[in-house]
Structure 1
Amino acid sequence: MLAIMNDILEFTRLESGKQETDEQPFSVKETIAYAMSGYKKIAAEKKLAFSCHIDNGVPNYVLGDPHLYGKMLVRLIDNAIKFTSNGQVDIFVKTVGEQASSNGAILLETSVKDTGIGIHELKKELLFLPFSQLDTSYSRNYDGLGMGLAIAQAIAKALGGYIRLADNDGAGANFVALIEVQPFEVPQDQPAIVLS
């Protein structure tokens, strides 16, 4: 019950525009590794291959909100692991250029692709609605009230982007999150940033 109330409060805060972002330098790689760490055990128990692939063009550090980015990742990973009984869950990260209208902001694209049950074409419009399950049997077979993707989408919007369902070859689903971050260079005369 507490988890449900927390989800409702979080979604309400995000949708109202009252969620402030806390911009700071962070490592994309370390933030993703931390988000994945909570799911390695269940992925192993389900015998899923669980991996992350970061493109060479992604900077070591960017300026943004690592807490919200991590929370968005957790929602997407949780969804993928939950609805995948065999096969794999893969995370792909790359940059897709700079936006001329946003002071050189980098568009960071994070895809979470799985080989799970997939999504019926007629149900795609329900994906990001709160409290929506794509099928009544889902609520019986899987935990949750259908808030995960709605919250992830609201977080992505707070970070200047959005999440979409991409075309996926074969079984499963591929959710692509696009957010804005700023470039950041560690000063040469400063010690390296250590994130805990």
Structure 2
Amino acid sequence: MQPKGKTMTKVANTAAARMAKRWTPPNGRVQEHADIKAVIWSYERGLRACVCIFHGTKVKPVEHCYLATADLRDQFIKAWVMQRREQKADEQARTAKANQDIKEFFEALEIGSIFYTLSGYEQTNATFYEVVGRVTANSAVVRPIEQDQIEFKALAMYGHAIPRKGQYTGAECVWKVKQRFPAVWTPGQKVNISWYG
């Protein structure tokens, strides 16, 4: 509730507004590396060669330190930029692979296909789905199905699960890849499951 006689001012939480709050050193020299979204300030404080690095839209620096000489500072900056570019390349490669895996997964589906996901904490649970409707490039109409759990090893606390096609346990839904990536089930395949306790 707004206090009587006072006007509330809404502060924009945009990237530009956040970056405008950043501290900038007096008489500093700035480098901008748009490819890795980094802004790097070099400055001197007494006899110290200082560096302040901001990444993305963060208000606080990810690095703020001083080195004994300007040469050491330049080496530090060069190494940091190189490392960040390598990290970005790795991230892009992982994203490209994930996108390709998703594409290949949905291309392999058709009505009647069965796939499963694995989940659990200190155990491995399998959930099976049968494709019952339209398949697109990133989704499919599915229904969850029953499973038989077989070959239990009580002491080892593991066994196998196999799906029961057509034995539905829930309504139709549109399934998309989210956190748990699925695997297509092949006839005769026994899916490992386990438990603890």
Confirm or deny a common fold (TM above 0.5): no
Higher strand share: 2
Q: State the TM-score, normalized to the length of structure 1.
A: 0.20
Q: Whose RCO is larger (CA < 8 A, sep 6+)?
A: 1
